Structure 1
Amino acid sequence: MEKILVAGATGTTGRHIINLLKNDQYFEPVAMIRKESQRSDFETEGIKTVMGDLTEDISNVTEGIDKVIFAAGSGGKAVDAVDRKGAMGLTDAAKKHKIKKFVMLSSLGADNPQDDGELKEYLQAKRDADEYLANSGITYAIVRPGALNNETPTGKIFLEKSLSSRDGEIPRGDVAQVLVRSLHDDVANREVFEILNGEHIIADALTKVQVENA
């Protein structure tokens, strides 16, 4: 099984990701935590952990890891340190240890941060992190969802390389499923795509970024 480092494992979306991975036949989650007190939350479920703070040196957190999901977020409190530099630091660590794939949770609007005054700083940080990953040489998938909510996952989304409308939301559980599916070698290699809640079963929607003969 491939070991998957989950940055942001203690967050709401991160917990969805961990729960999917721990029951997956192909992947084994490794939760990245900032505090020793968080370790037992995962290890009681048999989930491995690694200490790492995105605002500090994380150059060794990817040692022994096969693939990465970045689902961390500052919540607006340390945008540059976490959403920008933290993501870049994890990209550097992934490159150092020759990670096979890096799946980035980004955001709708990251392609044009100037369009959103209220979220401009956040979206610019996401854009910078996305571009840094795309230029790193690592195989990547960059997933840009609309506003996240805590509604019950539907298992259905709307996916385009670039959505014509940026209005809409999507349950965190559905985003988590897209991120986990994007870990596979035959899905979304060096792809950027956008998702909202929709009517297409996730597996079917992802055929738009399916890799032939992977």
Structure 2
Amino acid sequence: MASPPTVLVTGAGGRTGQIVYKMLKERSEQSVGRGLVRTPESKAKIQGADDVFVGDIRDANSILPAFQGIDTLIILTSAVPKMQPGFDPTLGGRPEFYYEDGAYPEQVDWIGQKNQIDAAKAVGVKQIVLVGSMGGTNPNHPLNSLGNGNILIWKRKAEQYLADSGIPYTIIRAGGLQDRDGGVRELLIGKDDELLQTNTKSVPRPDVAEVCLQALLYEEAKFKAFDLASKPEGAGTPTKDFKELFSKVTTKF
């Protein structure tokens, strides 16, 4: 009997990454879970053992040990804008955001993801699941103006690099991420940001995590890119058939 595949989730200390890492551990009969985090503090936070590596995705050499012997990769790393100190919501107006030096989307979402794709290709991974964001078809999307980071533009550049790599890929462009229970909503597949024109443009983090893991199980998920959102809880039928969900996807990018 073949041993289960080894799956590396990067960004395992992030809010969605933590969920994916936990699910991998809970489903050890399906795969061997492994995590990559940026700091020892993040490793401690997810109670990581020898299966959690510490490395900086912006430094290609520092992440190589995490990639040795893996079969598939789930990329959940992302630049995170921070709010300028001193903002008082009671005074009205909008908060200002910034990125820390060296942690702009160009460095994290483009160079950092490119480094991961290159490392994965070098060890011969069979599939990469990349979680991005809806909104990438609009250069003037408000997310791009946060901290002048153009985050969606750099994310799209990394997605294109993955699509051109020759590695089987699944690109999930998630809607607004919600800290809510997963498994209780009907999931919606979209393309080209069409879902942003509707009232259903958000999705719980655990559902994104579930789609990441399910994408590793079905051929129907490979060489596909799609937007992901969900109906409100109680509307529609909770999604259970992921093979059917992936079969609905018709877009490669």
- In 1, the alpha carbon distance for the partners of 2:72 and 2:242 equals 22
- What number of residue pairs does the alignment pair up? 209
Q: Which whole-Å deviations, capped at 9, do the CAs of 1:126-162 have from their partners, x for residues lacking one?
A: 1001000000011100001111121222343111344
Pairing partner for 2:159 from 130, 133, 136:
130
* Structure 1 residue 116 displacement after superposition: 1.1
Q: 1:158 to 1:4 in 2, by over 3 A?
A: same
Checking the alignment, whether the CA contact within 8 Å between 2:186 and 2:239 is kept in structure 1 is yes
Which structure 2 segments of 5+ residues have no match? 82-98, 249-253
Pairing partner for 1:141 from 161, 170, 174:
170
Q: 1:96 to 1:50 in 2, by over 3 A?
A: same
Please state if 1:109 is matched with 2:135.
yes
Paired residue type of 2:204 = P
* Structure 1 residue 59 displacement after superposition: 4.0
Aligned to 2:144: 119
Paired residue type of 1:95 = K
- In 2, the alpha carbon distance for the partners of 1:115 and 1:200 equals 35
Checking the alignment, whether the CA contact within 8 Å between 1:4 and 1:29 is kept in structure 2 is yes
* Structure 1 residue 50 displacement after superposition: 1.8
Paired residue type of 1:183 = L
Aligned to 2:77: 72
Mapping for residues 191-210 of structure 1, pairs under 5 Å: 191-198=224-231, 199-204=236-241, 206-210=243-247
* Greater C-alpha radius of gyration: 2
Pairing partner for 1:61 from 62, 66, 69:
66
Q: 1:182 to 1:39 in 2, by over 3 A?
A: same
Alignment TM-score, normalising by the size of structure 1:
0.87
Alignment TM-score, normalising by the size of structure 2:
0.75
Aligned to 1:99: 125
Paired residue type of 1:176 = A
Checking the alignment, whether the CA contact within 8 Å between 1:186 and 1:210 is kept in structure 2 is no
Mapping for residues 1-214 of structure 1, pairs under 5 Å: 1-24=4-27, 25-42=29-46, 48-57=51-60, 58-76=63-81, 77=99, 78-110=104-136, 112-119=137-144, 121-153=150-182, 154-162=184-192, 164-166=194-196, 167=198, 168-198=201-231, 199-204=236-241, 206-210=243-247
Checking the alignment, whether the CA contact within 8 Å between 2:67 and 2:120 is kept in structure 1 is yes
Checking the alignment, whether the CA contact within 8 Å between 2:13 and 2:43 is kept in structure 1 is no
Q: In structure 2, the residue corresponding to 1:165 is in which secondary structure? A: helix
- In 1, the alpha carbon distance for the partners of 2:185 and 2:18 equals 17
Aligned to 2:251: none
- In 2, the alpha carbon distance for the partners of 1:84 and 1:70 equals 12
Q: 1:90 to 1:200 in 2, by over 3 A?
A: farther
Q: 1:19 to 1:47 in 2, by over 3 A?
A: farther
Paired residue type of 2:114 = M
Paired residue type of 1:150 = D
Q: 1:148 to 1:37 in 2, by over 3 A?
A: closer
Q: Which whole-Å deviations, capped at 9, do the CAs of 1:77-129 have from their partners, x for residues lacking one?
A: 3211111111111000011010011000011122x141414426011011001
Query: CA RMSD for the aligned pairs?
Result: 2.2
Which structure 1 segments of 5+ residues have no match? none
Checking the alignment, whether the CA contact within 8 Å between 1:145 and 1:170 is kept in structure 2 is yes
- In 2, the alpha carbon distance for the partners of 1:190 and 1:119 equals 27
Q: In structure 1, the residue corresponding to 2:8 is in which secondary structure? A: strand
Paired residue type of 1:191 = K
Q: In structure 1, the residue corresponding to 2:73 is in which secondary structure? A: strand
